[in-house]
Structure 1
Amino acid sequence: MCLLLSLLVAVLVVVVVVRLYGRSTAQTATLPIGDGWWTQAAKAFPEDETIRPFTVTFDPNVLQDLHGRLDRTRLSEPLENSRFHYGFNTTFLKTVLHYWRHEYDWKKQVEELNKYPHFKTRIEGLDVHFVHVKPAQPTSQCHIRPLLMLHGWPGSFFEFYKILPLLTTPRQVRDNRMEAFEVICPSIPGYGFSDAPQKRGFNTANAARVFYKLMTRLGHNKFYVQGGDWGSAIGQNMAQMVPGHLYGLHLNFFHNGQGLRSWLSLLLGQYLPSLFGLTQIDVQRLFPFMPHFRTLFCETGYMHIQATKPDTAGSAVNDSPAGLAAYILEKFSTWTNPAYRDLKDGGLSEKYTLEELITNVMIYWTTNSITSSMRLYKETMGKGLNLPGKDVPVTVPTGLTVFPNELTYAPKAWVKSHFHNIVSYSYQPRGGHFAAFEEPVLLAEDVWKFVRKAEALPSFH
């Protein structure tokens, strides 16, 4: 009994010290914005700031080569009743590959991709691709807000195609006023139609600076940012670099970043939740902890590979369309819902169609970009988990939304010392990692609600 009491007193002392230390050392510094140049050619002339229209093209030669490779695919047989517990089940992969080879219409999907306006502009030596969708309503009749939406891996700008009309279509709000978003969806350098960096070191902070330059080049001195996965990290870095240029930041993926406090919460929070500021919902989502840890352990092997040897794995999947499809689509299975590992098709038909899943894969295949996309892990995480801006707080108005099947869960009590101005922290009834792709209505509504709350703040201007 004495031992238990001593342990509880020690924990209480540690928690108090952690809280006081956090308050006394709270940083207000911003993340240095810096500069960069990412091509091998020297920067001999001023950067070309022209905004150029871009069209996704259909190349019959690329399609012919793809079909030849699909015809020569060699697969191993899966273990009996293994479903998706060993990765992408090759029995179902045969179904996917047959569809890709014989039914999927890339020419039709190129037309679908081009239904929104695409552009490119040169930033720090790289051609940066972006989709730019403006409301049809004239600005004199509609209040329009600029919104930068950032994708992650293994997604692309295509993830946002279903949410774009939900944000850019004007809706009537306060005082019968019409409001809408003007949405910019760029491809991260090294992904899709954006150039890949040719020099080492391009991490999320560099991507944040590039996209900030993109927004100012488009005439937006102040704007909103929304992101998940890498888009969340890039958005946070941008908020840390140029907080005065963001109206607000909305994230559907975020980490706790609390170190000792979060570990103590995991050890004792189930029994002493109020001591750690945990709510009943937090306790339900965090405990028992080991099943969550096992899921996270099973789903992050790719991260270790890509943060250490991305070019090795990249060489394999870049040369094999079957390997690329298995590697990417496995994430759309278990990151959408870990329970989908128990299904023969990995649950891929639950939220998506094969057509849209293969279109996302085709963006990687036709641009030869899977290896360069994987390098972002090494450049950002290759020196450990000290991500850019880890110790710099986010002070802009922030909206955080939790989808129940997301890979990680961070209670508000954990994140509020990093996000100093949380305007909204909401829970969604369903959905996982690829929120805009699988639950566009839920995500769009949460963005709208966050913006209304942010603009109701006395400090908003």
Structure 2
Amino acid sequence: MQAIEDLRQAFSSLEPKHQQILAAGSVAVGGVLTYLLCRKREAKSIPMLEEWWGAGVRPEVEKENIYPFTVQTSEEEIQDLYDRIDKTRYTEPLEDSCFQYGFNSTHLQRVVSYWRNQFDWKKQITVLNKYPHFKTKIDGLDVHFIRVRPPHREGQKVVPLMLVHGWPGSFYEFYRILPLLTESQDDLVFEVICPSIPGYGFSEAPHKQGFTSLAAATVFLKLMERLGFSTFYLQGGDWGSLITANMAQMKPQNVKGLHLNMILAPRKGFGFLMSLLIGPYLPFLVGLTKEDVRRLFPFMEKNVYEMLRETGYMHIQATKPDTAGCGLNNSPVGLAAYILEKFSTWTDFNNRDLEDGGLERKFSLDDLLTNIMIYWSTGCIVSSMRFYKENLKTNMENRLDSRTGVFVPTGLAAFPNELLHCPRSWASHKFRNIYFYSYMLRGGHFAAFEEPQLLAADVVQFVKKVEKM
């Protein structure tokens, strides 16, 4: 008590301005200590979402067998596709509109002509079946995945890795990167698991409401456990970024590392505001680099306005997916226009100013149409769109995963044409153990599909750093 009284007297003897400085400093120190204590107490994991997503009620015992699956087609399916294509009605585009109004219908007719007369779906099915496909029942759903084992080479370290796609992609997005990860001559090689999100491609769609990224994360964690992996790495973009981050939050003891090419981190609070105000002029004061400044500013033009232009689809899918999906599920040309427009714009916003949308700058028509055929042949467009509804029907910031950090070693690949740029300083509020942050030289939203060599090299470097090879 005497010590406290002495402190009071010493404080009273100071000049008023010195008292103010000391008081302000004490408040600042107290705030920092409180923040550190709260951060230390922050939960480092979240629970898995144990639900039944199959039709009807959960049985007493769910079969856990894993069985081979083969992608197939039929003459009837192909003829039905042709019949529907032949009945398509087109609308003349506005003069000089390029892709500013969406998929230009003049170029769409060229793509559809190739689809109808040259694209060989049977040949592409052979390509799809190049890798082993499997299915297994998890939480009431038939979950599809491919499993690619590397050829055995003496002295190589084999590391399990799950790759998770997003919308409007599929497991096929990874076919370009798979050989780079599984057939490398390096001392590190991967055994890769590529699942289809339930409701996408060959994975069964949920029969009940509420299937969010947390549910998908739970399903995929159970899949890895069923395959016998106690520890593994994760990689994802788009929805795959959120799903894999959730997996790392649920089972940090099993996830050795998380690599993302779309960085979803909170952009709010005083720090974010200061970044916007000071960042363009004194970036180092707010943890930004010159490259961050180049990609971020002017902020309104490069971020806010662009998102307003490009997120109309999201508002539809997050509110009334079944309405819009009905038309897409019945018109193959409508489906192609809706999806391929994303492969144009999300690769590079400047593609909106091109008559052909720049589609074949990064992709072949065979690759693009194979992805379309996965959606068409499975009739999954509506269920894939519902994933937006389930995740966005409530404020995601109030979810437990949004209020919990990611503590596993994390590698972040920032591609220059990604929809939104997230600097490392912003990402660190969510990802608390960033091992690797890379400014990629080129590429956009579909990283594995666009720039497989760049993404594969970044994943390898990240994993080697975690493994300390």
TM-score (norm. length: structure 2) = 0.90
Q: 1:19 & 1:119 partners in 2: Cα distance?
A: 51
Paired position in structure 2 for 1:301: 312
SS in 2 for 1:25: helix
Opposite residue 299 of structure 1, the aligned amino acid is E
Q: Is the Cα–Cα contact under 8 Å of residues 22 and 417 in structure 1 kept in the other structure?
A: no
The Cα of 1:299 is off from its aligned counterpart by 1.1
What is the aligned partner in structure 2 of residue 10 from structure 1? none
Offset at residue 413 of structure 1 (A): 0.7
- How far residue 420 of structure 1 moved from its aligned partner, in angstroms, is 0.8
Q: Say which of 455, 458, 461 aligns to 1:449.
A: 461
Aligned to 2:196: 187
Confirm or deny: 8 A CA contact 2:149 2:190 kept in the other structure.
yes
Indicate if the aligned counterparts of 1:412 and 1:425 stay in contact, CA closer than 8 A.
Answer: yes
Look up the match of 1:25. Answer: 38
SS state at 1:377 partner: helix
In the alignment, is the contact (CA less than 8 A) between 1:243 and 1:396 conserved in 2? yes
Asked if the contact 1:37–1:43 (Cα under 8 Å) also holds between the matched residues in 2, the reply is: yes
1:286 to 2:310 alignment: no
| From 127, 149, 158, the counterpart of 1:134 | 149
Which secondary structure does the structure 1 equivalent of 2:253 belong to?
helix
Counterpart secondary structure, 1:395 = coil
Larger deviation, residues 258-267 vs 180-189: 258-267
TM-aligned CA distance change 1:103 to 1:18, over 3 Å: farther
8 Å Cα contact 1:269/1:276 also seen in 2: yes
- Is 2:164 the partner of 1:155? no
Mapped partners of 2:155, 2:74: distance in 1: 42
Any conservation in 1 of the 2:90–2:105 contact (CA below 8 Å)? yes
Contact 1:56 1:113 in 2 (8 A): yes
Q: Tell me how far 1:163 sits from its aligned partner.
A: 0.3
The one-letter code of the counterpart of 1:364 is Y
- When structure 1 is superposed on structure 2, of 290-299 and 99-108 the one drifting more is 290-299
Alignment partner of 2:338 out of 311, 327, 333:
327
What is the identity, as a one-letter code, of the residue corresponding to 2:123? K
Q: Distance in 1 between matches of 2:352 and 2:205?
A: 33
- AA in 1 matched with 2:165: H
Q: Distance in 1 between matches of 2:28 and 2:85?
A: 57
Please point out which of 49, 64, 70 is paired with 1:55.
70
Task: Give unmatched runs, 5+ long, in structure 1.
Answer: 1-13, 173-177
Please state whether the residue corresponding to 2:301 is helix, strand or coil.
helix
Q: Tell me if the contact between 1:256 and 1:262 (Cα under 8 Å) persists in the aligned partners.
A: no
Task: Specify the SS of the correspondent of 2:402.
Answer: coil
Return 5+ residue gaps in structure 2 as ranges: 1-26
Superimposed CA distance per residue, residues 377-435 of structure 1 (whole angstroms, 9 cap, x where no aligned partner): 11111112425511110000000011100000111111112111100000111000000
Structural mapping, 1:354-369, within 5 Å: 354-369=365-380
Write out aligned runs for 1:42-441 (5 A): 42-137=57-152, 141-172=155-186, 178-260=187-269, 261-292=271-302, 293-386=304-397, 389-441=401-453
1:298 Cα deviation (Å)? 1.0
Kindly indicate whether the alpha-carbon contact (under 8 Å) linking 2:292 and 2:423 is maintained by their aligned counterparts in 1. Answer: yes
Task: Return the offset for 1:17.
Answer: 9.8
One-letter code aligned to 2:239: W
Please state how far the C-alpha of 1:259 moved relative to its aligned partner: 1.1
Aligned partner of 1:418: which letter? K
Distance 1:15 1:118 in 2: 57
Alignment partners' CA distance in 2, 1:254 and 1:425: 11
Shift of 1:53: 0.3
Cα distance in 1, alignment partners of residues 118 and 334 from structure 2 = 19
**Secondary structure at the counterpart of residue 401 of structure 1:** strand
Q: Is the 8 A contact 1:255 1:408 kept in 2?
A: no
User: C-alpha separation between the residues in 2 aligned to 1:99 and 1:18?
Assistant: 64
Report if the CA contact (8 A) 2:53-2:141 is conserved.
yes
The alignment's TM-score, normalised by the length of structure 1, stands at 0.92
Q: Secondary structure at the match of 1:61?
A: helix
3-state SS of 1:390 partner: helix
Q: Which amino acid aligns with 1:168?
A: T
**Which amino acid letter does the alignment assign opposite residue 38 of structure 2?**
T
The 1:28/1:89 distance shift into structure 2, 3 A limit, reads same
Task: Report if aligned partners of 2:259, 2:411 keep a CA contact under 8 Å in 1.
Answer: yes
Structure exhibiting the larger radius of gyration computed from Cα positions: 2
Alpha-carbon separation, structure 2, partners of 1:94 and 1:179: 46
Contact kept in structure 1, 2:265 and 2:429, CA below 8 Å = no
CA distance in 2 between counterparts of 1:379 and 1:438 reads: 29
Q: 1:438: Cα distance to partner?
A: 0.7
Paired with 2:222 and 2:431, the residues of 1 have a C-alpha distance of 24
Count of equivalent residues = 440
